[in-house]
Copies of this chain bind each other. A is one copy, B any other.
Amino acid sequence: MVQKGYGGTSISDIAQVVGMTKAGLYHHIAGKQDLLFQILQHAHDEMERLVIEPAKQVGDPERRLIEITRRHVRGILDGGLEFTLLYRERHHLDDAQQETIALRTRAYLALVGATLQELAMEGKLRDLDIQIGTIHLLKTISGIADWYPMFSEIDEDHLVEQTVNFGLSAILKR
Q: With a CB–CB cut-off of 8 A, which chain B residues contact A42?
A: none
Q: With a CB–CB cut-off of 8 A, which chain B residues contact A169?
A: 126, 128, 169-171
Q: Pick from B6, B132, B170: contact of A8, CB below 8 A.
A: B6
Query: Please, what's the 1-or-0 string for A154-174, where 1 marks a CB less than 8 Å from any CB in chain B?
Result: 100011001101110111000
- Chain A contact residues, majority secondary structure: helix
Q: With a CB–CB cut-off of 8 A, which chain B residues contact A167?
A: 170
Q: Pick from B88, B127, B163: contact of A136, CB below 8 A.
A: B163
What is the interface residue range for chain A against chain B? 35 or more
**Docked CA distance A56–B57 (Å):** 48
Q: With a CB–CB cut-off of 8 A, which chain B residues contact A4?
A: 7, 91
> A29 contacts the other chain (Cβ, under 8 Å)?
no
> A3 contacts the other chain (Cβ, under 8 Å)?
yes
Q: Which of A9, A135, A158 has the most CB of B within 10 A?
A: A135
Binds B, one of A58-66, A110-118, A143-151: A143-151
Write 11 A-B pairs (CB below 8 A) sorted by A numbering: A3-B91, A5-B7, A5-B89, A128-B166, A131-B151, A131-B154, A136-B163, A139-B144, A139-B146, A143-B143, A169-B169
**Which 8 pairs from chain A and chain B are nearest by CB?**
A7-B7, A7-B8, A139-B143, A170-B170, A132-B162, A169-B170, A129-B162, A166-B170
